[in-house]
Amino acid sequence: MIRMILRALAGAAALFLLFVAVQFWIDPVAAAAKMGLTAHGAVGLATLRADNAGAFSVIGLLALLGAIRDDGRLFLAPLVFLGFALLGRIVTLAQLGVLPDLIPPMIVEAALIAVFAAARWTVRES
Protein backbone atom coordinates (compact mmCIF):
# COMPACT_ATOMS: atom_id res chain seq x y z
CA MET A 1 0.00 0.00 0.00
CA ILE A 2 2.76 2.45 0.94
CA ARG A 3 4.54 1.64 -2.31
CA MET A 4 1.48 2.60 -4.34
CA ILE A 5 1.12 5.85 -2.39
CA LEU A 6 4.78 6.72 -2.95
CA ARG A 7 4.51 5.89 -6.65
CA ALA A 8 1.47 8.16 -6.89
CA LEU A 9 3.26 10.97 -5.03
CA ALA A 10 6.33 10.57 -7.23
CA GLY A 11 4.14 10.60 -10.33
CA ALA A 12 2.39 13.78 -9.18
CA ALA A 13 5.75 15.43 -8.42
CA ALA A 14 7.01 14.38 -11.85
CA LEU A 15 3.95 15.90 -13.52
CA PHE A 16 4.62 19.14 -11.61
CA LEU A 17 8.16 19.21 -13.03
CA LEU A 18 6.86 18.54 -16.53
CA PHE A 19 4.33 21.35 -16.09
CA VAL A 20 7.19 23.72 -15.19
CA ALA A 21 9.04 22.60 -18.33
CA VAL A 22 6.01 23.32 -20.50
CA GLN A 23 5.73 26.79 -18.94
CA PHE A 24 9.32 27.49 -20.01
CA TRP A 25 8.55 26.39 -23.57
CA ILE A 26 5.31 28.38 -23.86
CA ASP A 27 6.23 31.60 -22.01
CA PRO A 28 9.86 31.56 -20.92
CA VAL A 29 9.80 35.16 -19.72
CA ALA A 30 6.92 34.60 -17.29
CA ALA A 31 8.26 31.23 -16.11
CA ALA A 32 11.71 32.71 -15.56
CA ALA A 33 10.31 35.72 -13.68
CA LYS A 34 8.68 33.36 -11.15
CA MET A 35 12.19 32.05 -10.44
CA GLY A 36 13.95 35.39 -10.32
CA LEU A 37 15.46 35.04 -13.79
CA THR A 38 15.41 37.32 -16.81
CA ALA A 39 16.18 36.71 -20.47
CA HIS A 40 18.30 39.02 -22.57
CA GLY A 41 17.39 38.79 -26.24
CA ALA A 42 16.89 35.75 -28.42
CA VAL A 43 19.82 33.87 -26.89
CA GLY A 44 18.38 34.37 -23.40
CA LEU A 45 14.96 33.09 -24.49
CA ALA A 46 16.53 30.10 -26.21
CA THR A 47 18.63 29.37 -23.12
CA LEU A 48 15.58 29.45 -20.86
CA ARG A 49 13.77 27.07 -23.18
CA ALA A 50 16.74 24.79 -23.73
CA ASP A 51 18.39 24.66 -20.31
CA ASN A 52 15.50 25.18 -17.92
CA ALA A 53 12.81 23.37 -19.87
CA GLY A 54 15.32 20.68 -20.77
CA ALA A 55 16.35 20.07 -17.17
CA PHE A 56 12.80 20.10 -15.80
CA SER A 57 11.52 17.85 -18.56
CA VAL A 58 14.29 15.26 -18.20
CA ILE A 59 14.01 14.97 -14.42
CA GLY A 60 10.22 15.00 -14.66
CA LEU A 61 10.16 12.37 -17.39
CA LEU A 62 12.60 10.07 -15.60
CA ALA A 63 10.66 10.36 -12.34
CA LEU A 64 7.37 9.74 -14.13
CA LEU A 65 8.78 6.66 -15.84
CA GLY A 66 10.12 5.46 -12.49
CA ALA A 67 6.66 5.79 -10.97
CA ILE A 68 4.86 4.19 -13.91
CA ARG A 69 7.32 1.33 -14.41
CA ASP A 70 7.85 0.77 -10.69
CA ASP A 71 11.60 1.09 -11.24
CA GLY A 72 13.62 2.83 -8.52
CA ARG A 73 16.69 3.19 -10.74
CA LEU A 74 14.94 5.87 -12.78
CA PHE A 75 14.79 8.16 -9.73
CA LEU A 76 18.58 8.38 -9.43
CA ALA A 77 19.15 11.16 -11.97
CA PRO A 78 16.32 13.35 -10.59
CA LEU A 79 17.73 12.85 -7.08
CA VAL A 80 21.25 13.82 -8.12
CA PHE A 81 20.00 16.85 -10.06
CA LEU A 82 17.79 18.07 -7.22
CA GLY A 83 20.52 17.39 -4.67
CA PHE A 84 22.95 19.62 -6.53
CA ALA A 85 20.26 22.26 -7.00
CA LEU A 86 19.63 22.27 -3.26
CA LEU A 87 23.37 22.43 -2.62
CA GLY A 88 23.56 25.53 -4.80
CA ARG A 89 20.82 27.15 -2.73
CA ILE A 90 22.63 26.24 0.50
CA VAL A 91 25.80 27.88 -0.83
CA THR A 92 23.76 31.00 -1.58
CA LEU A 93 22.36 30.95 1.97
CA ALA A 94 25.87 30.64 3.35
CA GLN A 95 27.02 33.64 1.32
CA LEU A 96 24.00 35.92 1.67
CA GLY A 97 22.38 34.75 4.87
CA VAL A 98 18.80 33.66 5.28
CA LEU A 99 16.53 35.73 3.08
CA PRO A 100 12.77 35.04 2.90
CA ASP A 101 12.77 34.60 -0.90
CA LEU A 102 15.38 31.85 -0.71
CA ILE A 103 13.43 29.49 1.53
CA PRO A 104 10.37 28.43 -0.56
CA PRO A 105 12.37 26.93 -3.46
CA MET A 106 14.51 25.05 -0.95
CA ILE A 107 11.39 23.58 0.63
CA VAL A 108 10.11 22.48 -2.78
CA GLU A 109 13.45 20.88 -3.68
CA ALA A 110 13.75 19.17 -0.30
CA ALA A 111 10.19 17.82 -0.61
CA LEU A 112 10.88 16.51 -4.13
CA ILE A 113 14.08 14.88 -2.89
CA ALA A 114 12.17 13.24 -0.02
CA VAL A 115 9.43 11.91 -2.32
CA PHE A 116 11.82 10.63 -4.98
CA ALA A 117 14.20 9.10 -2.40
CA ALA A 118 11.35 7.32 -0.65
CA ALA A 119 10.02 6.09 -3.98
CA ARG A 120 13.49 4.94 -5.07
CA TRP A 121 13.97 2.88 -1.92
CA THR A 122 10.43 1.54 -1.88
CA VAL A 123 9.72 0.57 -5.48
CA ARG A 124 11.43 -2.44 -6.96
CA GLU A 125 14.48 -2.27 -9.18
CA SER A 126 13.62 -3.96 -12.44
Q: How far is CA 3 from the centre of its chain?
A: 21
Confidence of residue 125 (pLDDT cuts 50, 70, 90): low
Domain residue ranges of the chain, discontinuous segments joined by +: 2-121
Count of C-beta atoms within a 10 Å radius of residue 37: 15
pTM, rounded to two decimals: 0.90
**pLDDT of 126 strictly over 80:** no
For residue 59, the Cα-to-chain-centroid distance in whole angstroms is 6
- Whole-angstrom CA distances from 2 to 13, 93, 114, 119 are 16, 35, 14, 9
Q: What is the DSSP letter of 35?
A: T
Q: In whole numbers, what is the pLDDT of the chain averaged over residues? A: 95
**For residue 100, which phi and psi values (nearest 5 degrees)?**
-55, -35
What is residue 1's predicted lDDT score, i.e. its pLDDT? 86
